[in-house]
Amino acid sequence: MITSSEYRKRLSKMRRNVYMNGQLIDRAHPRLEGAVNVIAKTYDIITDPEFKEYEDILTATSHLTGKKINRFCNVHRSVADLLAKQRMTRLTCHQVIPCVARCMGIDATNANSVISWEADQAYGSEYHKRFENWLRKFQENDCTGCCAQTDVKGNRPWRPHEQLDPDLYLRVVETKSDGIVIRGAKVHNSVAPCVEWIMVLPTRRLTKEEGAWAVSCAVPADDEGVKLIVSATLYETSRKLGMPGPFGSADSMTIFDNVFVPWERVFLNGEYELGGRLALLFALYHRHSYTGCKPAMTDVLTGATALMAECNGIEREAHVREKLVELICTSELCYGAGVAAAINAQRSGSGTYIPDILYCNVSRRHAGVNIYHEFDILADIAGGMPATLPREEDWLNPETRPLIEKYMMRNPNVSIEDIHRAFRWVQAISCSEPAGVMQYAGVHGGGSPRMEQIAIMSSYDIEKTKNIAKRLAGIPVDQKYSFDRLGVTLGER
C-alpha cells in the first residue's frame, strides 16, 4: 500500500487533460485541493494510530495475491467483506465532510468481477481473466479509480440506436486486432480528475441493435483522447482556526474522443444482454455503498444540529430532542437496511458477493427522500446566523472583533471562540456551494428515488403480501408463499 504523498506525486505526473473555467489546468490546481484531500485521507487513515483498531475494516486480503490491500481496492468475497466495506465507508466519511469518493471505483470493480465471469460462461470469452489480470495490478499498486457510467442520453425518449447522433451514448466505433476505439461522453463522474483509472460501464438495458454500446473497459484517466471538463467545489472551512481540510468535490463531464483501449483492458464488448445487467449491478453496489456514506452524512448533520442547539442554549428543549431523533432514525434505518443487504447477499458464480436488491434500494430511497428535510432541521435549530455570519477577516480585525464577540455571545457555558468555530463550520456544510452539490447528490447519487422505487417494486413480490391479506380476510389461497428474507415458509391452507 502507498502513502498519500505517493498518491499526490502520481497525480502530479499525469498528463494535463483537465479543463476548468475555460483553462487547461494541472491536477495540483487549488480548486481541486478539496477533492484530492478527500482521497488522500483514505490513505492516511490506514496508518493513523488513532484508527489502529479499525485496521481489519480499512484493509482486506486480496483473493488474487493473498496480500494486504486497501479495502477500496477489494472485491467482496463474503458477507463479512460487504459489512466491512459499509463500516469503512461510514468511518472514513466522518473524517472528510462527508463523501469519501472512492466508492465509485470499488463498486464498478465488483460489478465487473461478476459480469465478466458471466460473459465467459455464456460466450466462451476471456473477459474475466483480463479483468483479474488488470485488478491484480490495480491492487498491487494501490490505485484509485472512478466510474463513468451515465451517458448524456440525448433525446430521452429515444434509445441509443435511435439518436440522431449515436455518440450521445458512449460506443465502440472501431474494432482492431489489438483492441477497440470508443467515442462518447459520460457525465457526473465524481473525482475523475483525482484518480488514475476510469471504469467505463453501460448506463442502461440494451437491445440486440445496440451491441456497440455494450462496452466495459478500464481507461487511464489521462489517456490520449480523454478530456475532463470539471466542476469543483471547496468547503470554506477556516485554516486560520485550524479546521481540518479543506475538503470538497470534483465532478467531470468526461469526453472519450476516439480513445483506443487494448484488449487486455476490455471486459465487455457487444454482449448487449449483459450490458444492462452490468449497469444495474453497478447501481446496486453503489446503493449499498450509500448505506455507509449516507448515514455518515446524517451523522454529521445530527452532530451539527446538536452543536447549534448547545451554542444557542436550547439543547434541553423537547422540540430539539424530537428533531435529533428524526435524524438518528434516518441514519440508523439506512445503515440497518445496508446491514440486512449484506447479510442477505448472494454469492455469484465468480465468487463475488452481491448485496440484496430490496434492502439496498429501500435504504437508498429512504435517504434520498429525506436529505432536504435533514438540512431543514439543521437550519431550524441553527437559526439564520450561518447564512449571514460576519466574514472571518472581520473576526480577526482588532477594531471589529470585540464588537462581534460581544454581540455573538450566546450560551454562557460555551466560549465565544467555540461559538465562532461552530457557526463557521455549519456555514460551510449548509450554506456553501458544495453544500448545494451534496444536497443534489443526496437525491440523485446512485440513482434518484424514482429509480429505487422501480427497483423495489420489481424485486418485491406483492402477491405474497396479498396472500396474507386473503388469509386474514378468509379468502382461499391456492399457492404456496414464503418470506425468504425472514427465513419463514408458509404452506398451503
List average pLDDT for each run of 10 residues in the chain, which is 493 residues long: 96 97 96 94 95 96 97 97 97 87 94 98 97 98 96 95 97 98 96 97 96 98 98 80 86 98 98 96 95 94 97 96 96 96 97 96 90 94 94 92 95 95 92 82 76 82 86 80 46 33
Q: What is the pTM of this model?
A: 0.91
End-to-end CA separation in angstroms for the chain: 59
Q: Establish whether domains 4-271 and 282-456 are of one fold.
A: no
Among the listed residues 330, 348, 360, 318, the one whose alpha carbon sits nearest the alpha carbon of residue 485: 360
Structure confidence at residue 436 (pLDDT):
81
Can you tell me the distance from the alpha carbon of 58 to that of 434, in angstroms, rounded to the nearest whole number? 26
* Cβ atoms 86, 338 nearer than 8 A: yes
Question: Contact 343/337 with Cβ under 8 angstroms?
Answer: no
Would you tell me how many other CB atoms lie within 10 Å of the CB of residue 223?
16
**Nearest CA-CA partner of 150 in 219, 81, 104:** 104
Q: Which residue has the cell 429515444?
A: 158
Whether 272 contacts 205, CB under 8 Å: no
The domain ranges of the chain are 4-271, 282-456, 461-490
406: CB partners within 8 A, 6+ apart: none
pLDDT attached to residue 432:
84
- Give CA separation, 119 vs 31, 182, 372, in Å: 41, 20, 41
Whether residue 169 contacts residue 158, with contact meaning beta carbons closer than 8 Å, is answered with no
Nearest to 190 by CA among 155, 144, 235: 144
Q: What is the pLDDT of residue 487?
A: 43
CATH number of 4-271: 2.40.110.10
Question: Per CATH, which fold does 282-456 belong to?
Answer: Butyryl-CoA Dehydrogenase, subunit A; domain 3 (1.20.140)
**Residues in CB range of 64: below 8 A, 6 or more apart:** 132, 135, 136, 139
